[in-house]
Structure 1
Amino acid sequence: MATTPSHPGLKGHIAALLFGVMLPFSMAPWNWWPVGLLSIAGLLILLRQLSSNASFWRSFCYGLGLFGCGASWVFVSIHDHGQASVLLASLLTGLFVIALALVFAVPFTLYGAGLNRHAGMMVITFPAIWVLGEWWRGWIFSGFPWLYLGYGHLDTWLSGWAPIAGVLGISWVAALSGSLIGIIVLPRQKFTLSNFAVLIALFWLGGWYLQNETWTRPVGEPLRIGILQPALPLNVKWDSDQLNNILTLYREETEPLLGADLVIWPESAIPAFSDEVKPFLKEMAAEAIDQDTGLITGIPTRAFGQQYFNSVIGLGIASGTYHKQHLVPFGEYVPFERWLRGTIAFFDLPMSAFSPGPATQAPITANGIAIGTAICYEIVFQDLVARSARETNLLLTVSNDTWFGRSIGPHQHFQMARMRAMENRKPLIRATNDGITALISSQGEVVAKAPAYSRQTLSGYLTPKRGTTPFTERGSLPVLALCLLTLLMAAFTQQRSGNRH
């Protein structure tokens, strides 16, 4: 006998949209993590017994709520800094949200192909679909690995799983927990509260126990680290007439920090190519050497006048150069440049013609310490950071979150940076133009943080670490393999069940 889909029609779609809006509130800056579990439970209930086509559109509505709320900061970048009108910025942001919602919905067509009929099948397959969907979203069209469910549990017991399974592993446990809540709410299901309690105890108490595992060990003495947060408005920073004033600012504000083991300037701190400011860089390098300091700065570089890179370079007793590998579409390069470049100011932002750096690069070093570097957006790619963490003792990310304004974007970005430290059990330095600048321990704890949106210098200590975690060695692959195997076994079980009937 055919089953009747649950929550059909417009009411179900509106409910899905509202449950999608809920999910970002489980993450920074709110961190109401139980809301995320309820959001998952709501989606599971709303997808029950729907066909593949209906599951797609129901999930699409959920995605509209999720990204319409959680990625709303895109409007700030387009309107405030891309000089687009409110109407045009709203249109472009809306198209961005719709595209993300479509990508989000695609995996749930598989869930609707018979995996959402029975409680046992639902609770097993929904977390697998969810996690594979997060991975898919972090890969397709260069990737947007934002708003992963696991980030909401950075400060819960589930964070103990980060060095083993990474953020996707935490997403899987959280999705499983939310699914079980949904199953219990559904009427006439054989899953009991005792089943729910046992599974919750296994993963949540296991995460609590694993929080005490160190995984890595110290290298030498703690490093004294100084960071300059210049808080330069973008219209000032990219005004060529202001370059000399900016160089003077960095020289004067850095002087009290010299003598530290490391001094860090943010992404594209100097708004000129490195070869254009050679005398200044040479002067700062000499001062850093005199004070036995490694000075590390973000700065654009170019090779033979043909390729331009968003780079980080080491000066003083620091050496090496890192070129950003994973570029931001429209921010650092313009897709379909031939047609889009010059049409509106947003498609002609400063320094938006970069080339990606090579996949394999030697780390920046200082005092025998190897530093794994990620520039801005790169810090959200968990496997990219894990690869650089394998042979390094310290993680560094420089950024310019001024593009997000005073929105939720910088808080989300900062939360993801903390997760990278936790996954790899390596301390992390985060230097930004106007916030959030901080020193983060290998446990993901904030050691020191500068007030946002103001010119500040930050000083503190971090202890470099050697060794690797299971996640650093294997990345997200084991979790993805588990999810894929789960779906294959579910499909096989479903086929056998169909043959018997």
Structure 2
Amino acid sequence: MTQDSHSIVEAHQASSINSYYPKLSRLQSLLTLIATAIAGAIATLSMAPWDYWPIGLISFGVLTLALTRPMSPFLLTLVFACGFFGTGASWVYVSIHQFGMTSKPLAILLTSVFVFGLAVVFALPYLLFRRLVGFSPTTIIVFGAPGFWLFGEWLRSWFLTGFPWLYLGYGHLSSPLAGYAPVGGVLLITTASILSVGFFIQSVRLVGKKQKLSAGLLAATVAGIWLTGSVLSTITWTQKQDTEINVGIVQANIPQEVKWLQGFRQTTLDRFTSMTNELWHNDLIIWPEAAIPMLYQSARPYLDEMSDAAKEHNSAIVTGVLYENFESRKIHNSIIGIGNAEGIYHKTRLVPFGEYVPLEQWLRGTLAFFDLPTSIIAAGEPGQSGLKVGDLIVSPSVCYEVVYPTLVAGLAQNSHLLLTISNDAWFGDSIGPLQHMQMAQMRALETQRYLVRATNNGISAVVDPTGKMTEQTAQFTQETLSGTIVPMTGATPFMTWKNTPVIALFLGLIFCAFLTRRATAPKSYY
């Protein structure tokens, strides 16, 4: 076929498609983009600190309907994601401006670049949307929109080290869908929620087409999804041991501005000593991330003194500290056990710019933000063992690591307790620390284990295996907390399967969309 013949065929196909799916006016296209951006922006309200989970369902529904319109799926999803991450990850601005010593205009620019980058990663799969899904509203609503949404969430869980933040499933920590967490993690909750939205929209469309039986079956499926989640919430996948462990948390509330100043070092040590003295009645006492503002080797005299005190009280201390490996000449963000605790864990998932600088040879020294005092950290090796407190095996995670569902599930395999330490002072009074706490709660639910979280300035908490906080501190306060945990054994299905079921589901949805598009799209399209 000649080039002219190809052009004639393509023109005929385009004309046929436009007659079947009429083009939108510029005003209609603009209104669609605005509605999609707003839907993305309000989706944040479905998660902490608001937890209005129905808004997440509405937001996804708006995006789904937008994708049925003859517009670029990539553009629509990009606009949605810019609104979503623009509100949901707005806390990045605080760390860049307030603690990164960056001017407001430059901090706004850098935050915008960060948000846009996240949006691009999330929208990338939608470049294949029309090729694999086509234009049929039914195919888009039932298969395409849910499948590609899950593809996007899974992609950003690992691409460029990943940013597994702001999954729609987090908003359902207290909804009937929470029962899916131990089975397939937070992404399976997302799957259940968006499939129910798609099926509901399609059932309404079928009612309009007088296909009441099909509409009723889809509506029953939606009810079944939510009822199944509720039933799963009653299943206990793990087993409690007969012992109880008393735990204490020190929330020292050290201002980030003075934390690493040498002149404030003794004040920090004195504060931890005095606050720990209130907690010796506990079996385990936890200090937050990098609690000691110096390298482990320099802090040995103080740590040895506190270790001896812990042993005298038959207690253990687990603390965050920077650890220098002289053999590799690397510095790690670590957790160590002293007193009746033993072991060391080096953080494996690092925060870009906060703990290391990507493209360091070009960026280091250009802005104060690229020279933060902790941006010299090296990642620890994978497959590290947990900490031990007597017979208790503790699965540790440092700060950002707790947002990685499969990482925590893997570390929890042979442990009795989840422990995470953090310093959320970097994000001030933004929504970031509250979202971080919610994600830690989800890790407890996914593994059905108690989780203890110690932070510098809140929220510190004890979380039970259902994801509920049994004890918690307020933010921006200097206080101690005591609670009780029960060691857990056994594994949830998620700890065994991890994201495999969700990957199979979104691939299956996309494959179904691909198989059905020829039957529902105009014949001349092919």
**Superposition TM-score, scaled by structure 1 size:** 0.96
Amino acid across the alignment from 1:280: Y
* Candidates 163, 167, 175, aligned match of 2:186: 167
Distance between the aligned counterparts of 2:339 and 2:96, measured in 1? 38
* Candidates 213, 224, 247, aligned match of 1:202: 224
Amino acid across the alignment from 1:225: V
Distance between the aligned counterparts of 1:137 and 1:46, measured in 2? 22
- Per the alignment, residue 140 of structure 1 pairs with 159
- Counterparts in 2 of 1:87-106, with a 5 A limit? 87-106=105-124
Distance 1:422 1:124, change over 3 A: same
Distance between the aligned counterparts of 2:506 and 2:405, measured in 1? 18
Distance between the aligned counterparts of 2:372 and 2:135, measured in 1? 46
* Candidates 231, 235, 240, aligned match of 2:253: 231
8 Å CA contact 2:237–2:491 kept in 1: the answer is yes
- Per the alignment, residue 93 of structure 2 pairs with 75
Amino acid across the alignment from 2:312: D
Q: Secondary structure at the match of 2:249?
A: strand
Work out whether 1:357 is the aligned partner of 2:380. yes
Work out whether 1:110 is the aligned partner of 2:128. yes
Q: Secondary structure at the match of 1:234?
A: coil
8 Å CA contact 1:6–1:47 kept in 2: the answer is no
8 Å CA contact 1:320–1:363 kept in 2: the answer is yes
TM-superposed CA distance for 1:180, in Å, is 3.0
The farther-off stretch of 336-345 and 407-416 is 336-345
Distance between the aligned counterparts of 1:216 and 1:276, measured in 2? 41
- Per the alignment, residue 243 of structure 2 pairs with 221
- Per the alignment, residue 49 of structure 2 pairs with 29
Work out whether 1:340 is the aligned partner of 2:363. yes
- Per the alignment, residue 29 of structure 2 pairs with 9
Distance between the aligned counterparts of 1:294 and 1:441, measured in 2? 21
Q: Deviations over 1:369-402 (max 9, x none)?
A: 1111110000010000000011101001100111
- Per the alignment, residue 377 of structure 1 pairs with 400
Distance between the aligned counterparts of 1:251 and 1:326, measured in 2? 30
Distance between the aligned counterparts of 2:130 and 2:161, measured in 1? 27
TM-superposed CA distance for 1:492, in Å, is 2.9
Work out whether 1:297 is the aligned partner of 2:319. yes
Please report the RMSD computed on the Cα atoms of aligned residues, expressed in angstroms.
1.8
Q: Deviations over 1:286-307 (max 9, x none)?
A: 0111111110000000101710
Work out whether 1:484 is the aligned partner of 2:507. yes
Work out whether 1:45 is the aligned partner of 2:68. no
- Seq. identity, %: 40
Distance between the aligned counterparts of 2:407 and 2:68, measured in 1? 36
Q: Secondary structure at the match of 2:395?
A: strand
TM-superposed CA distance for 1:104, in Å, is 1.6
- Per the alignment, residue 389 of structure 1 pairs with 412
**Superposition TM-score, scaled by structure 2 size:** 0.92
* Candidates 126, 137, 140, aligned match of 2:145: 126
Amino acid across the alignment from 2:169: G
* Candidates 166, 176, 194, aligned match of 2:195: 176
Distance 1:423 1:152, change over 3 A: same
Distance 1:196 1:485, change over 3 A: closer
Q: Deviations over 1:383-427 (max 9, x none)?
A: 000000111010011001111110111111111000000001011
Amino acid across the alignment from 2:263: D
Matched positions, count: 499
Amino acid across the alignment from 1:134: E
Distance between the aligned counterparts of 2:200 and 2:219, measured in 1? 10
The farther-off stretch of 182-191 and 309-318 is 182-191
Q: Secondary structure at the match of 1:448?
A: strand
Amino acid across the alignment from 1:318: A
8 Å CA contact 1:49–1:112 kept in 2: the answer is no
- Per the alignment, residue 441 of structure 2 pairs with 418
Task: Name which one, 1 or 2, has greater alpha-carbon Rg.
Answer: 2
Amino acid across the alignment from 2:480: T
Distance between the aligned counterparts of 1:6 and 1:184, measured in 2? 25
Q: Secondary structure at the match of 2:323?
A: strand
Distance between the aligned counterparts of 2:61 and 2:507, measured in 1? 22
* Structure 1 unmatched runs, 5+: none
8 Å CA contact 2:64–2:140 kept in 1: the answer is no
- Per the alignment, residue 264 of structure 2 pairs with 242
Distance between the aligned counterparts of 2:357 and 2:499, measured in 1? 29
Work out whether 1:281 is the aligned partner of 2:303. yes
The farther-off stretch of 373-382 and 180-189 is 180-189
- Per the alignment, residue 252 of structure 1 pairs with 274
8 Å CA contact 2:68–2:140 kept in 1: the answer is no
TM-superposed CA distance for 1:123, in Å, is 1.2
Q: Secondary structure at the match of 1:431?
A: strand
Distance 1:121 1:17, change over 3 A: closer
Amino acid across the alignment from 1:40: F
Work out whether 1:269 is the aligned partner of 2:287. no
Q: Secondary structure at the match of 2:93?
A: helix
Work out whether 1:466 is the aligned partner of 2:485. no
Q: Secondary structure at the match of 2:291?
A: coil
Amino acid across the alignment from 1:216: T
Amino acid across the alignment from 1:405: G
8 Å CA contact 2:139–2:517 kept in 1: the answer is no
Amino acid across the alignment from 2:46: S
Distance between the aligned counterparts of 2:296 and 2:256, measured in 1? 19
TM-superposed CA distance for 1:259, in Å, is 2.8
8 Å CA contact 2:316–2:341 kept in 1: the answer is yes
8 Å CA contact 2:146–2:509 kept in 1: the answer is no
8 Å CA contact 1:394–1:427 kept in 2: the answer is yes
